Amino acid sequence: MGTDKVVLAYSGGLDTSVAIRWINEKYDLDVIALTVNVGNEADFEVVRQKALRTGAIQAFIADARDAFVHDFAFPSLQAGTLYQGVYPLATALARPLIAKLLVDCARREGASHVAHGCTGKGNDQVRFDVSIQALAPELRIIAPVREWRMTRDEEIRYAQEHSIPVPVTAASPYSVDANLWGRSVEAGVLEDPWNEPPQDAYAWTINPRFAPEEPTYITIDFEKGIPVALGDDADHTERLEAVALVTRLNELGGAHGVGRIDHVEDRLVGIKSREVYEAPAATVLHTAHAALESLTLSREQRRFKAIVADEMAQLIYDGRMFSGHYRDLSYYVASTQRHVTGSVHMRLLKGEAVAVGRRSPQSLYDFGLATYETGDQFDHDAAVSFIKLFSQGLRTQARVQLGAGSAPEIRGLVAPTIDDPEPGSSSG
């Protein structure tokens, strides 16, 4: 046995099971297995016992579901972070939390190393390594799968030779990662972006074609951008703990086929990857939260917050949540959420989650200004002067530079074609 220790992020699968014995042999380290529960639907006691049978000197289970939702998923929801506009970042949000728990365990157990089962091609290796280096630069990182370069058949043979208890039957054709915020699926036939995802790629959502013909209506209550209550009646909602609320929305959304995402995304390592995601709760909540912000944030706040959300999504995806830049942006987001309190009425039907109603005690929507009916309080006479001032700069430029007063051809009026000459050049 080794004289020093390493804490391994242990899933119970083939890679990390083989890694226990491989690390012990190559690095002469005792392995402590740490399995983190972020809602990934495993029998964790079975996983713990497997780690011990495989050679780990200790095996711990960390129930991090509440921390994951409160400290990672919900702040991401407040920010509105969707990578490349579609992916709610479920896997990316979980990795920094797992890295933090690895570091905590290593310090508690006196280990000098931490290890994970990521490959050299994916994003997760970066998320783990960068997070660990930010939190504990003194710890050495081992990534066995990145080092050994074994094929799956070679791993199975290694497991058999060393009596490692892992299943050697036909594996799933997909690589799957899941937590409370979403399920990601890749590999197999999905690697050809022309192929429609087969139905067996999905586990949380019904095919929208076979979803109920009648909608389900739900109401979600928010306090400062955080969902706190859920109900099927606009006036009667039940306060729920974060994990219970997300779990219930995954069930409700999945029953209507809500939350399927088929996306070709740009990985951090410079390749494009076809990913299929299921994220019913995240999809419903992002839609509802955006609807409530439409009532409670000004136009300038919404415009700039979209820029911040895009920047934060990139930082989350790249594994830089523990950076000063991410922390600074988080303060801005927290400030924007002070008045994002209210209720959103949602319709779930045939794969779509649609906000059909929203209300807030902090609403900036003024009926007297918005209505076209009796009670209109808008100052119509002021509109003419407003438009005159608003267009002043444009009218000056049009007169001086753009030839106002003539009747130019439509072609090239707004945007030149690719073969048009550069401005100011001659075409002779």
Q: Tell me which of 71, 140, 146, 175 is the catalytic residue.
A: 175
Q: pLDDT tens across 164-179, in order?
A: 876 644 456 778 889 9
Q: pLDDT tens across 274-320, in order?
A: 999 999 999 999 999 999 999 999 999 999 999 999 999 999 999 99
Higher pLDDT residue, 397 or 19? 19
Q: pLDDT tens across 20-32, in order?
A: 999 998 999 999 9
Say if residue 181's pLDDT is above 90: yes
Q: pLDDT tens across 102-161, in order?
A: 999 999 999 999 999 888 778 889 999 999 999 999 999 999 988 887 777 787 888 888
pTM score, two decimals? 0.90
CATH level 3 topology of 4-171? Rossmann fold (3.40.50)
Q: pLDDT tens across 243-284, in order?
A: 999 999 999 999 999 999 999 999 888 889 999 999 999 999
**Rounded-to-integer distance, Cα 105 and Cα 132, Å:** 12
Catalytic (active site) residue 318 = no
Residue 262 pairs with which residues in a beta bridge?
276
Catalytic (active site) residue 153 = no
Catalytic (active site) residue 175 = yes
Q: Nearest CA to 208 among 333, 308, 398, 352?
A: 352
CATH level 3 topology of 176-297+340-359? Argininosuccinate synthetase, chain A, domain 2 (3.90.1260)
Say if residue 428's pLDDT is above 50: no
DSSP 8-state code for residue 337? G
Residue 23 to residues 152, 164, 366: CA-CA distances in angstroms? 18, 14, 65
On whether the CB atoms of residues 402 and 395 are closer than 8 A, the answer is no
Q: Tell me which of 11, 15, 30, 129 is the catalytic residue.
A: 15
Say if residue 326's pLDDT is above 70: yes
Q: Tell me which of 65, 95, 127, 260 is the catalytic residue.
A: 95
Q: Average pLDDT in the 56-74 region?
A: 97
Q: Tell me which of 30, 124, 129, 221 is the catalytic residue.
A: 124
